[in-house]
Amino acid sequence: MPNSFGISVNNAGTNLTLNTQNINSQTNAIYAVNSGTGATSITINGDISSVNSDAIYAENDPATTDLTIHTKNINGKNNGIYAANFGTGSTTVTAEGNITATNQNGIYAFNHGKDLTINTHNVQGSQSGIYATNEGTGSTTITAKGNITATNSDAIHIENKSNTKDLIIKTDNINAKMNGIYTTNNGTGITSITVSNDIIAANGTGIFAQNLNTAGNLTINANNINAELNGIYIINNGSGSASITTAGTIQGQHQIWHPRRKQPNSSKYQRQSDQWFHYRRIRRH
């Protein structure tokens, strides 16, 4: 029978470092809170699972620096990995195996300091596969070399807040109940989304990407998209250009939509060319 807790650590000193192998627990397999002044590093060279909670819960409080997690296979009842860094450093999550979350997100990440970086293989969440918010001063980079699946929501949901820089996503296959990829960049850098294989968005949009006023270029490279609503829907209110390149087939009620800013004395958006389609509101969870 699994233990109640795998490893539970509350650190008020400097660095918090965990190195472990296989863990099977009733609650958190790893529960780590660093309220000290150093970095947090969690390395797992085996499989971990939680019957009733997050497999990994890791939190850096405001006086800390970096939060780094390196794992193999993860199975959580709630989140597979819950990583929240309120410190001044960067957050890095690397998963070499499969991540499964029964009730919530495969990976949930929040970063307050500098860069937010997530490197994964296969991720499946009941809500989102990857749900991340970066309000630090650096960039957000998501690299997924496998399948990202969301049973009830967006497969990848990323938000860059106003202090951030670039938002970069590179992934293979996407399968979502709602939107395949949903991004908002309120930072000062670019948005770049590259999907090398297929996107399925059963009840939503394949790729939704929004650049707000301070952001730069918005670039999307995609292959096949099968969506109920829009194949690709972008809003570029930033200072840079918008570029969409597709190498496969786009299926949806509307294939590609890019509303331009409203013209003076007009309540309607301009079409860019005959390939751009009418607006339709995407569904949100």
Q: Which residue has the tokens 């293979």?
A: 172
Cα(84)–Cα(109) distance, integer angstroms? 6
Q: Which residue has the tokens 């496998």?
A: 146
Cα(279)–Cα(218) distance, integer angstroms? 19
**What b/e sequence results for 190-202 when a residue is b if at least 16 CB atoms lie within 10 Å of its CB, and e otherwise?**
bbbbbbeebbbbe
- Contact status, residue 215 vs residue 187, Cβ threshold 8 Å: yes
Under the banding of pLDDT at 50, 70 and 90, the label for residue 280 is: very low
Q: Which residue has the tokens 């790729």?
A: 207
User: Taking the model in full, what pTM does it have?
Assistant: 0.90
Cα(99)–Cα(79) distance, integer angstroms? 9
Instruction: Tell me which of 25-34, 56-65, 261-270 is least confident.
Output: 261-270
Q: What is the mean pLDDT of residues 261-269?
A: 31
Under the banding of pLDDT at 50, 70 and 90, the label for residue 100 is: very high
- Contact status, residue 60 vs residue 85, Cβ threshold 8 Å: yes
Model confidence over 105-149: pLDDT tens digits?
Answer: 999 999 999 999 999 999 999 999 999 999 999 999 999 999 999
Model confidence over 241-251: pLDDT tens digits?
Answer: 999 999 999 99
